[in-house]
Chain A
Amino acid sequence: MDKQLELLQGTLDMLILKAASLGPLHGYGILLRIQQISKDRLEIQQGSLYPALYRLERRGWVEAEWGTSELGRRAKLYRLTDAGREQLAAEMLTWKRFAAGVSKVLFST
């Protein structure tokens, strides 16, 4: 599993929501969390991570507050809002159906 997979369009938001649902995290933490859970299989463009976070914040799915990072620096910590939780659940369901459908087509005998 050396090769990292490029993310499909539109899945980054979903992954961020999932990572943020596990507790308040700063941007870098979210990145690490995603890579860690995916066992480094997913490659995230760092240039797109923060704009995505700002967009999600604007839509009210995550909210941020200032806290302290592991290094003792001031860090902007993101956490999921209730609306974000609903959105995540909805996207997970859609993804499950989508993936099941695609697999069925691709791996049918």
Chain B
Amino acid sequence: MRTADRGEFEQVFRSGYPSVLRTAYLVLHDRGRAEEVTQDGFLRLYQRWSQAVSYDHPVAWVRKVVVRDAIRRAERERRQQPGLVLVDREANDRLPDLDLLQALAELPSRQRAAVVLFYLEDRPVDEIADLMDVSESTVKQHLYQGRKRLSQVLVGGVVGDVG
């Protein structure tokens, strides 16, 4: 790779890595594996940089790769170890809301990914649908169910379905 290309890649990495890592972490709930998945995604971007440099949003491409990989891993691990939730101690330096983190971890992995992408990464519904390879109505359904469950934790008490 040419020095100039490498410089451009490094810029994209620096700007995109923290948010992609956060998405992967919130899907996987394990910092080590989230770092692995994110590294793998950016490595693939690096390896195809001669084509990727022309993308409008190289980070969006990486996010797609990483989220799909993270969902696959989360689903596989959930099948292997039902109910096991790993909360990374290092990641809790800012005293996060552990109930909220736990509630997020308990959402089905696809629902969790949709919630993280929509509410934290501000991705539009059509992009999330493309990224997760599902229809927009499925994404909306995931978001509704996720919002309902998280509201119960944040507001407290049982929340009725008011349609």
- State whether these chains interact: no
